[in-house]
Amino acid sequence: MNNPFEDALLQLTRAVALRPVREDVLLRLRSPEREVSVAIPVVMDSGSTQIFEGYRVQHNHARGPYKGGIRFHPDTNKDEVRALALWMTIKTAVANIPMGGGKGGITVDPKKLSPRELEALSRGWVQALYPVLGPRLDVPAPDVNTNPAIMAIMTDEYTKLTGDTTGATFTGKPLDRGGSEGRTLATSLGGWFVFDVLRDAFGVPAEPTVAIQGMGNVGGNAARIFAQHGARIVAMSDSHGGIVNMDGLDVDAVESYKQEHGTLDGFPNAQRLGNEDLLELPVDVLIPAALEDQITGENVGRIHARMILELANGPTTPEADDALFARGIPVVPDILANAGGVVVSTFEWEQNLKGEHWSEADVNARLQEIMSRETRAVLARAGELGTDLRRGAFVIALERLESAMMQEMPRR
């Protein structure tokens, strides 16, 4: 298992080798500005008290308030949250939105908690961290195993503790609690807009075959959106494994089956396959939409996709990146491909601060404009530098971050 923060630092170093930045800028980007670990006590349904470890890493604020999701997962740890926070700093710069980078989490398996315990834990995270959160300071959002309902609970707790009623401290809220139209779909729809700009450049057929790892908010919505645009979704999976039918799956039927049975076991007219096997299918587009460290030096030789669209954060290690580039398999990096979520989160924050509510058509049109423009910029920069899209995107982010930081640091 690669250490994701080491991978993120390596990606940074590799981009700086192509486009040097001032040494003090690089030092700042290598070091998160603030890291907070908290012990969250929860009175369990049994009556006993359990302590959970929670985190918030505020990586960089040069371009705006810290911004990034909160993850509830048994494997979440500080290094993972650090990596995710660094990627948020780069991602908000790639998307050119007025936000910095942060991330949070709790080491917990939420599937083992009752609804009351989960609510107490969510409120506990806010009670422990509210002094370092706020609309002008740090604005969290949902990530793995957190959702609009949890954002509503966290917003409620934040309002009780601070009296702030703007709702602008958390994004990804339900619509009737100040959420934005389009936020639930935004990461996946943004990924579609990115793909739509790049498909011709990479010779992807008009009706591509697609395999998707993970069917949560991001993977499930991506399956629907790609299918609506004529793609054939041949494989989908959850944490227990996947199903495949090279003739195509009915995405809505798969989703309803999973909701009804809680598993993909027994889904008709499809074969069961493991998550590792899903990655190795001969498809036009492979979409990792689960967790980091999936395409590695170990399995990269067995990847047969024509193109990889990273809707998960950090699914490809630097070693695998190099092997894929050498084989001519383009990887559309997370810091571009899944930036749609933070873009619409930023729209939500802006609407909350202004007391506005934008229509879904307006939100999606603004999202498309940003994603398409920045995708063309990344493609052009990677081409000029003769490098991959990840380095191209990092270089653009580094230029924007250096420019922002130089406003506040002494000139040499």
**Interacting residue ranges for ligand NAD, rule: CB under 6 A:** 142-145, 187, 213-219, 237-239, 275, 289-291, 311-313, 338, 341
For ligand NAD, the closer of residues 92 and 387 by Cβ is 92
Supply the angle between the helices 183-198 and 360-385 in degrees, to the nearest 10: 40
For ligand NAD, the closer of residues 133 and 215 by Cβ is 215
Tell me how far, at minimum, the Cβ of 332 lies from ligand NAD, in Å: 13
For ligand NAD, the closer of residues 258 and 391 by Cβ is 258
CA nearest to 220, candidates 255, 249, 270, 259:
255
Give the residue carrying structure tokens 């926070």.
85
Tell me how far, at minimum, the Cβ of 241 lies from ligand NAD, in Å: 8
For ligand NAD, the closer of residues 291 and 331 by Cβ is 291
Cβ atoms of 211 and 237 within 8 Å: the answer is no
| C-alpha dihedral sign at 186, 294, 10, 19 | negative
Tell me how far, at minimum, the Cβ of 371 lies from ligand NAD, in Å: 13
In terms of Cβ atoms closer than 10 Å to its own Cβ (0-12, 13-18, 19+), residue 23 is exposed
CA quadruple 88, 89, 90, 95: dihedral, nearest 10: 80
For ligand NAD, the closer of residues 236 and 379 by Cβ is 236
Sheet bearing 271-273, strands edge to edge: 271-273, 241-244, 232-238, 209-213, 285-288, 307-309, 331-332
Phi, psi of 246 (to 5 degrees): -65, -15
What type of residue sits at position 217?
N
Phi, psi of 142 (to 5 degrees): -75, 155
Tell me how far, at minimum, the Cβ of 246 lies from ligand NAD, in Å: 20
Cα dist from 296 to 302, 329, 394, whole Å: 10, 14, 20
Tell me how far, at minimum, the Cβ of 219 lies from ligand NAD, in Å: 6
Residues marked as catalytic? 103
Which residue number has the CB closest to ligand NAD?
216
